[in-house]
């Protein structure tokens, strides 16, 4: 009995030792600059970490498939690197996160090549940007330009194929192809005008883009590929099918568009890819829909035909969360400190229409809207005391928040909901803010009028605010 127990314990310890060996670890030493922390993103997760006693940053991962991880910092300057991690990698990084980086340990060659590919693309992109200047490219030239730029990474990867693992090569190739085709596939919609319909914005060369797409279950381990196949390639499939039907210029509602794309994916994708892509597509649409009741049949159908228990729970939770924030529901109550240090609550503005701007000092698009969109929007309602412009910052640092307000001379009521990282703050969570800038309109009765409102710079924003003003309680 003792021998048996000893064997069990030895097996357990051996398994623990093996698991430790298979754990993925990254040691990062930053030279020439000293940020107080770094962020890391990958696998739909993000976190901040501070240096250890040796002034090194140590990241731990438990992986069952390869993962690309972006690491970087925003202060005192913005810099980042991309790491390629396989199960059991032990990667050491010494870098200034700018021009000088060295990598050692298991996974070094792969990470080195990945960053060289990215740098080559950025150099080519900047050169092309300088060459083009303010010229507005034709749709044909735009598609060719971005396909050529995307090919830069693929060419470098192919030239160095023998230096890296087969897993890395396959992962990056499918990821780079996805990157290369993403913008060209969605470009035509940006060329549509009242005078020029979508069908007139698609050149013959557009239809050849689909030739490079690999429709295969074996690539679903790539997050880039899954995102492309769930959100971008369906646009191509839809455009092609509707072009052949002669219906490309007919407007579709969100629900009609989703139904059409689901049908295309069901007949085009193999089983595993189909399940994952449909799940991602439906979940994303739930998060953006202004009429959830119209989407519920699609969610229910997916759950009945394809969903695992985990997917079922995730979709149901997402639906219920968004339902609480749909038009007509009471807005989440909150009380926050103002710039002047006073407590301000949403209920203080009952009887008025509130336009909420979720932002942060480090968010460039947020700051752009505040400088270029907000002053014009404010001017439209300068004599209307029933409209309130409420700015809720998710800055983690109070000084940065105050400085941005002073620098940009932002008018309005300023509140702070401090974030642990990125936009992770209590109020942002309450309003389901996954990224900033984010805007919401609250009606006079304290109910949500639009939790995905247009930006200050958009003409329709004035119309939406006026609609909220005229809405019956």
Residues in the chain: 473
Least confident residue range of 17-26, 79-88, 231-240, 445-454 = 17-26
Q: How far apart are CA 100 and CA 290, in angstroms?
A: 47
For residue 149, give the nearest of 131, 168, 163 by alpha carbon: 131
Task: Show the DSSP H helices in 193-334 as ranges.
Answer: 223-227, 233-245, 254-268, 271-288, 292-305, 309-323
Nearest to 359 by CA among 297, 285, 295, 417: 417
Instruction: Fold for 22-106, please state it.
Output: Immunoglobulin-like (2.60.40)
Amino acid 14: pLDDT? 39
- In terms of Cβ atoms closer than 10 Å to its own Cβ (0-12, 13-18, 19+), residue 208 is exposed
Q: Is 326 a residue whose pLDDT tops 70? A: yes
Tokens 């470098």: give the residue.
Answer: 156
Residue 19 in this model has a pLDDT that exceeds 60? no
Q: The tokens of 74 are what? A: 């925003």
pLDDT, position 18: 36
| Lowest mean pLDDT across 4-13, 177-186, 293-302 | 4-13
**Are residues 436 and 341 in contact, defined by beta-carbon separation less than 8 angstroms?**
no
Integer Cα distance of 23 and 87 in angstroms: 7
Q: Which two tokens stand for residue 156?
A: 């470098």
pLDDT digits (tens, 9 = 90+) for 384-423: 999 999 999 998 889 989 999 998 888 899 999 987 766 6
Mean pLDDT, residues 168-173: 94
| pLDDT value, residue 421 | 64
- The model's confidence at residue 13, banded by pLDDT at 50, 70 and 90, is very low
In whole angstroms, what is the distance from residue 22 CA to residue 90 CA? 9
- Quick one: average pLDDT of 47-72? 87
What is the sign, positive or negative, of the torsion defined by CA atoms of 85, 89, 90, 94? negative
Q: What is the pLDDT of residues 424-433, one digit of tens each?
A: 788 888 888 8
Report the alpha-carbon distance of residue 243 to residue 205 in Å, rounded.
Answer: 14
**CATH class of residue range 335-470:** alpha beta
CB 59 within 8 A of CB 26: yes
Quick one: CA torsion of 112, 116, 122, 127, rounded to 10 degrees?
160
Dig out the tokens for 29 from the structure.
């030493």
How much is the pLDDT for 145?
Answer: 95
Q: What is the mean pLDDT of the chain?
A: 88
What value does the mean pLDDT take over residues 309-320? Answer: 92
For 356-394, the pLDDT digits (tens) are: 999 988 888 888 888 889 999 999 999 899 999 999 999
Q: Quick check: helix, strand or coil at residue 95?
A: strand
Angle 271-288/254-268 helices, nearest 10 degrees?
Answer: 170
The rounded distance, in Å, linking the Cα atoms of 304 and 275 is 12
Q: If pLDDT is split at 50, 70 and 90, which confidence band does 22 have?
A: low
| Poorest-pLDDT segment among 12-21, 142-151, 157-166, 399-408 | 12-21
pLDDT in tens, 94-124: 999 988 899 999 889 999 999 999 999 999 9
pLDDT exceeds 50 at position 6:
no
Burial (CB count <10 Å: 0-12, 13-18, 19+), residue 361: buried
pLDDT value for 212: 95
- DSSP for 153-222? HHHHHHHTGGGS-HHHHHHHHHHHHHHHHHHHHHGGGGG-BTTB-GGGG--GGGGGGGGG----GGGTT-
C-beta of residue 178 within 8 angstroms of C-beta of residue 153: no
| Whole-model pTM over 0.95 | no
Tokens of 91: 């990667």
- Is-contact 107 84, C-beta < 8 A? yes
Integer CA distances (angstroms), 436 to 193, 358, 364, 413, 417, in order: 27, 6, 10, 18, 13
Of all helices (H) and strands (E), which one includes residue 85? strand 79-85
Residue 397: both structure tokens together = 């640092």
Strand ranges across the sheet with 24-30: 57-61, 24-30, 90-95, 101-106
Q: Give the lowest-confidence range in 147-161, 299-313, 365-379.
A: 365-379
Domain boundaries, the chain: 22-106, 113-323, 335-470
């Amino acid at each position: 009995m003792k021998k048996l127990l000893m064997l069990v314990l030895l097996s357990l310890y051996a398994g623990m030792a093996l698991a430790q060996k298979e754990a993925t670890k990254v040691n990062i030493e930053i030279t020439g600059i000293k940020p107080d922390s770094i962020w890391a993103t990958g696998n739909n997760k993000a976190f901040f970490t501070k240096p250890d006693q040796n002034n090194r940053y140590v990241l731990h991962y438990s992986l069952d498939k390869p993962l690309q991880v972006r690491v970087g910092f925003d202060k005192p300057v913005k810099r980042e690197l991309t790491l390629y991690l396989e199960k059991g990698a032990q990667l050491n990084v010494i870098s200034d996160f700018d021009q000088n980086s060295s990598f050692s340990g298991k996974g070094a060659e792969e990470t080195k090549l990945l960053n060289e590919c990215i740098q080559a693309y950025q150099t080519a992109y900047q050169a092309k940007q300088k060459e083009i200047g303010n010229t507005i490219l034709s749709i044909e030239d735009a598609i060719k330009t971005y396909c050529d730029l995307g090919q830069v990474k693929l060419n470098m990867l192919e030239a160095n194929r023998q230096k890296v693992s087969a897993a890395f090569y396959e992962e990056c190739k499918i990821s780079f192809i996805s990157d290369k085709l993403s913008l060209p596939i969605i470009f035509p919609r940006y060329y549509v005008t009242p005078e020029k319909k979508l069908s007139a914005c698609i050149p013959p060369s557009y239809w050849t883009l689909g030739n490079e797409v690999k429709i295969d279950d074996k690539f679903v381990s790539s997050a880039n590929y899954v995102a492309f196949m769930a959100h971008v390639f369906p646009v191509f499939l839809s455009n092609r099918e509707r072009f052949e039907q002669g219906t490309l210029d007919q407007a579709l509602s969100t629900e009609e568009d989703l139904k059409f794309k689901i049908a295309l994916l069901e007949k085009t994708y193999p089983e595993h890819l189909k399940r994952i892509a449909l799940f991602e597509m439906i979940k994303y649409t739930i998060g953006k829909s202004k009429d959830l009741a119209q989407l519920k049949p699609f969610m229910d159908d997916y759950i009945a035909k394809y969903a695992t228990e985990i997917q079922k729970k995730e979709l149901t939770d997402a639906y219920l969360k968004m339902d609480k924030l749909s038009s007509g529901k009471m807005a989440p109550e909150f009380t926050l400190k103002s710039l002047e240090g006073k407590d301000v609550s949403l209920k203080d503005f009952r009887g008025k229409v509130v336009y909420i701007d979720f932002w942060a000092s480090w968010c460039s698009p947020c700051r752009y809207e505040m400088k270029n969109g907000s002053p014009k929007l404010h001017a439209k309602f300068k004599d209307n005391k029933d409209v309130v412009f409420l700015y809720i910052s998710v800055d983690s640092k109070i000084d940065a928040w105050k400085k941005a307000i002073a620098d940009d001379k932002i008018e309005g009521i300023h509140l702070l909901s401090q974030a642990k990282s990125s936009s992770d703050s209590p109020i942002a969570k309450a309003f389901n803010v996954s990224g900033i800038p984010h805007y919401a309109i609250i009606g006079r009765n304290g109910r949500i009028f639009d939790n995905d409102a247009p930006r200050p710079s958009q003409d329709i924003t004035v119309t939406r605010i006026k609609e909220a003003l005229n809405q019956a309680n």
